[in-house]
Structures are given as structure tokens and as C-alpha cells.
Structure 1
Amino acid sequence: MLPWKRALGTLTALLLAATVTVTVTPAVAATASPVSAAVAAAPSSGWNNYACKPSAAHPRPVVLVHGTFANSVDNWLGLAPYLVNRGYCVFSLDYGQLPGVPFFGGLGPIDASAGQLAAYVDKVLAATGAAKADLVGHSQGGMMPRYYLKFLGGAPKVNALVGIAPSNHGTTLLGLTGLLKYFPDAADLLTDKTPGLTDQVTGSPLLTKLNAGGDTVPGVRYTVIATRYDEIVTPYRSQFLTGSDVRNVLIQDLCPLDLSEHAAIGLIDRIAFHEVTNALDPARATPTTCASVIG
């Protein structure tokens, strides 16, 4: 390959990585504090408290699953305290770390990450004494648990999966991933360095396997919360699932004024957060509207 094509291929890979990094984890990029400081703050906010016992009102622990280039703290500085303040036992894990890459998770192969989730759910269930957990994930974190449910025996241990802007059927990154066929080096670099990203490209072998034979498994309730302004998982309707126990929600149908894009809907959008609580406790659900931002 000509040197300029090799350089351009590398540039394309970096552009893809930078697009996801900047958009998905502004909380990480915007702070100079080490992530360890945020981890230390998490227990004081009431989550990852292994002494927490689920109540009769909220009998299942909630496991939060971060997205690509994210981690167990920064992705959940908004939603975790929101749920804790409403009486839930809340836990979050780090997964998909690559050697020599600090702070950022969700980069390893998705099937391996699903194995990490399986072990973590077992740990949370053992600590809380609950029979089942509820899972809430953002971006990759809303899709990857489906691998755990379908292939790693997770379905009997999970009551509900709530995906916020999940990459359920892959993404074109607004067409950027379509460029990979013209730059083989870029594809090779992404596969070698960030398999968790290439696994999410539309039509990848991982997604083909995951979605073959149907999107869902029996016994689990699925909710997808999407925004029409998503610029990462595109087209946004690719996030939606098909199945007998699925609820697909477009946040603008609930509040037309909500302009959240891919990152904001998972990090700071209290309208989406309200819809998460409805999904976790449908028997006590209340209407989600623009006023839910102050709820």
C-alpha cells in the first residue's frame, strides 16, 4: 500500500475513535481529575454499596453498564444518584479494558465483555441476596448485555434490560464506518486496537450472531430509549428491538423539546432518567413529559 494511503487509513481510524471519545464521554474528557477520585466519590453517593439490601418496593438491584470509551463512574454521575435517591440498590462495573489503556473501557471484544458482566451480576446477586437483577446500559452497554442474556445464561438472572441509545443493530457513525472498506489499514487498526468498536459496526460478525433468530429472549423485559438527534448510533431507529416484551421509546415523543444527543441522553437527561424508572417499575410508572426534568 502506498504510504499516503497508509497514513490516511490511520487518520480515519483515529477520527472514528476521536468521534466516539469526544461524544460519548465528555465527563472524562472535560475533567483533569484522575478517575480514582471519582471512584472514591461513588460510595458517598450511595452506589456500589455492597451492604445495600433491596427493599420490598424495589426488590432487584440495578446494574449500570457503561458505553464505549467510558467507565463505571463517569458514565453514571447523573443516573446512579438519581436511582439511589429513589430507593434502588445501584451497582456499576468496568469492563472491556485493554492493556495499557487507563480510564477507558468498552474497548475489548464484546463477547469477552459479556463474560465480565456475567461474573459481575453473580457478584451483585450474591451480595444482595436477590434472585434477579435489572440492567441499564448506555450505548454499547445497552447492547452488550443482550449477548450475556442470549449466550451466557443470563436470562434467568435478569428481569429487565433498559438500553439508553443502544447499538443493538450496529451503527454507520453517520456513514463514517462506510469509509473503512476503502482503507484496509484503518479497519485492521480498529480490529487490533479496539475490537469493541468494530464489533458495533453494522453487519459485523458479532452483531450478525447476536441478532440471528430474533432480538430478544423469553422471560426478560426490554426497553429501548432513543433520541432522534443521536449522531453516534445511526440511524437511530436501528436501536429499536423487535419482540413480544419490548417497549421502544423515542424521547422526543414524550418531550418534543428534548434536544439530547447520544451522550446527553445517558449522562444528564432527567427526562430519559424518568423513563428508566418507569421501565424498572412499570407498576408504579407515571407519565414522562417535559416536566419530568424537575421531577
Structure 2
Amino acid sequence: MLPWRRTLRAFTAALLMTLLVTGLLTLTPAVGTASAAPAASSRGWNDYDCKPSAAHPRPVVLVHGTFGNSIDNWLVLAPYLVRRGYCVYSLDYGQLPGVPFFNGLGPIDKSAEQLDGFVDKVLASTGAAEADLVGHSQGGMMPRYYLKFLGGAEKVNALVGLAPDNHGTTLLGLTKLLPYFPGIEDLLTTKTPSLADQVAGSPFLTKLNEGGDTVPGVRYTVIATKYDEVVTPYRTQFLNGPGVRNVTIQDLCPVDLSEHVAIGILDRVAHHEVTNALDPAHATPSTCFS
């Protein structure tokens, strides 16, 4: 690995750890889904008194990635959207018994059912007819199951994916070795089902992508980085179909070095592209200074 890449990854890891600690300090000692909403609400999101404006008539639901949660994944993007006048909400999903903080580990079809219930709650609270979804990594892919198989297309206007593993990942080819290590494969299936679901060619992804990547009536945006080291090759994140816009961050800012985690949590160019996707009628060019 080149020295600048090692420095970048070390800096990203340190900054993400700071964000994680900051997020955890906002939680009550009884950690869990119930405690997340008050903590987030104090920052202006998960405010169930919020009513969408004429300028931004749809609430935005943020969907964290694997090992993420409803707070730490969104410490930058959620306030960014709130300041721009959006009603913003985030959920926890895919929890495993006895595993605090780190979610998105359960079977992805079951996680999509949790998203279904959460969107219904948000729509009932805001009075809106539709929501917009913004997800990172698994959180950008999992909603597609909700849209395709659980009736979500009738309740969702747009899905924005930040580094989503829409067609799975090879993890730089390592997952191709899983069939040769039955013990490891069994561990993934029984302990962290979502990881097994995200392997390229898994039964879950085969079902999800069969018959086309998209469903009618929903606008799709994929925002990717060519430095993604988790969802590889990075172009497998892109979708095909009507109403799709695929974006590579480096086409907008060649010196942007964000990798998989940073593009979802920290990257200002990516966040500006999120607002463009949520409000395309008022989109402005994304640059290195967005």
C-alpha cells in the first residue's frame, strides 16, 4: 500500500473513532433502539414534531450500513440535511441479541421489514405521502428489497445509495475462498447473516436483482468512490434501469480520496450530491469545494 493511502486510512479511522465515541456519549446507559431517538432528536433529527415544508415536502429516512447504527452513521449528514430544511429520521435495523451499537447484521430480508415499519411510522407522523431514502453501504442496497417485494415503491420517491453493494462484493476476491472453508462460511451464515447475504452471487442478491435492478416510479442515485476497498469492484455498485443516475465522486473532484466508510459519513462532495438527488429541480454543480 502506498504511504499516502496508509496515512489517509489512519486519519479516517481516527476520525471515525472520534465520531463513534461522540455518538456513544449521547446515549443513555440503557443502550438500545429506544435510546437512539431522543439522542438524535437533540441534534434536530428524529423529531416527530417536524412537518415537511413546501420546499422539501418529503421526509428523509437515513439507513445505516453493516456494523452501523442510527446515530454514529449520520453525525455529519443528518445535521447537514436538517440545516437545509429537511425532516430527517434514522432507524436501527438488523440487530443481533447481545450485540449493542453494531447493527445491520441480521438477515437482510428481515431488515427490510423493519424499514417498512419505520417508513410507515415516519409517514404517519409527518402526514407525507412519500419519503426519500438515503442509505450507506448495505443501507443503500437493502431498501431495494423493500421497494421490490414489500410494497415500498408506493411510499418512496427516491433512493440514494452511498457506496451501496447493489450486486454484492468480492471483498478484493477473498469471498471467493469461502466455499473452501466451510467453518468460516457457516460462521457468517449463523452469526452474521447479512454478511453472507452480501457476498456476490448469494441467494439473496440473486433474488434481489433478478428481473432488473429497479422498480417503476422510484428515482435512483448511486454515489460511489473508485477508492472503495469494501465493495469491489466499485462499479458493481451502479444500477441499470430507467430513473437511475450513477455518480463517481472522483469525476466531480479528482483529488477526493474518500474510501468506503468516509464517502458515507464524512465526504462533503457526496453529501452535496445527496441534496442534488433529493431536490433535482434545484441541483447545483458538485465540486471539491461543495
CA distance in 1, matches of 2:122, 2:225: 30
**Matches for 1:159-178 after TM superposition, within 5 Å:** 159-178=157-176
Task: Identify the range of structure 1 (37-46 vs 193-202) with the bigger mean alpha-carbon deviation.
Answer: 37-46
Deviation of 1:34 after TM superposition, in Å, equals: 5.1
What residue in structure 2 maps to residue 74 of structure 1?
Answer: 72
What residue in structure 2 maps to residue 253 of structure 1?
Answer: 251
What residue in structure 2 maps to residue 101 of structure 1?
Answer: 99
The one-letter code sitting in structure 1 at the alignment partner of 2:244 is V
What residue in structure 1 maps to residue 120 of structure 2?
Answer: 122
Do the aligned partners of residues 28 and 142 (structure 1) sit closer, same or farther apart at CA in structure 2, a change above 3 Å counting? farther
Greater RCO, CA 8 A, separation 6+: 1
Q: Do the aligned partners of 2:20 and 2:72 also contact (CA within 8 Å) in 1?
A: no
CA distance in 1, matches of 2:19, 2:122: 29
The one-letter code sitting in structure 2 at the alignment partner of 1:242 is N
Deviation of 1:31 after TM superposition, in Å, equals: 2.4
What residue in structure 1 maps to residue 287 of structure 2?
Answer: 289
What residue in structure 2 maps to residue 31 of structure 1?
Answer: 21
**Normalising to structure 2: TM-score of the pair?**
0.90
**Matches for 1:129-278 after TM superposition, within 5 Å:** 129-278=127-276
Deviations 1:152-209 (A, max 9, x none): 0000100000000001000011112112121110000010000011100000000000
How big is the alpha-carbon RMSD for the aligned residues of Structure 1 and Structure 2? 1.7
List runs of 5+ in structure 2 lacking aligned partners. 1-11, 29-34
Deviation of 1:29 after TM superposition, in Å, equals: 8.6
Do the aligned partners of residues 56 and 29 (structure 1) sit closer, same or farther apart at CA in structure 2, a change above 3 Å counting? closer
Match 1:52 to one of 50, 72, 75: 50
Q: State percent identity of aligned pairs.
A: 76
Deviation of 1:269 after TM superposition, in Å, equals: 0.3
Deviation of 1:30 after TM superposition, in Å, equals: 5.3
Do the aligned partners of residues 35 and 204 (structure 1) sit closer, same or farther apart at CA in structure 2, a change above 3 Å counting? farther
Deviation of 1:96 after TM superposition, in Å, equals: 0.2
CA distance in 2, matches of 1:145, 1:80: 18
Aligned residues: 270
Off by >6 Å, runs of 4+ in structure 1 = none
Q: Do the aligned partners of 1:27 and 1:75 also contact (CA within 8 Å) in 2?
A: no
CA distance in 1, matches of 2:160, 2:232: 19
Deviations 1:41-93 (A, max 9, x none): 42121000000000000000000000000000000001000000000000000
Q: Do the aligned partners of 1:28 and 1:74 also contact (CA within 8 Å) in 2?
A: no
The one-letter code sitting in structure 2 at the alignment partner of 1:31 is V
Deviations 1:228-267 (A, max 9, x none): 0000010000000000110000000000010000000001
Do the aligned partners of residues 45 and 34 (structure 1) sit closer, same or farther apart at CA in structure 2, a change above 3 Å counting? closer
Task: Identify the range of structure 1 (249-258 vs 28-37) with the bigger mean alpha-carbon deviation.
Answer: 28-37
CA distance in 2, matches of 1:124, 1:66: 16
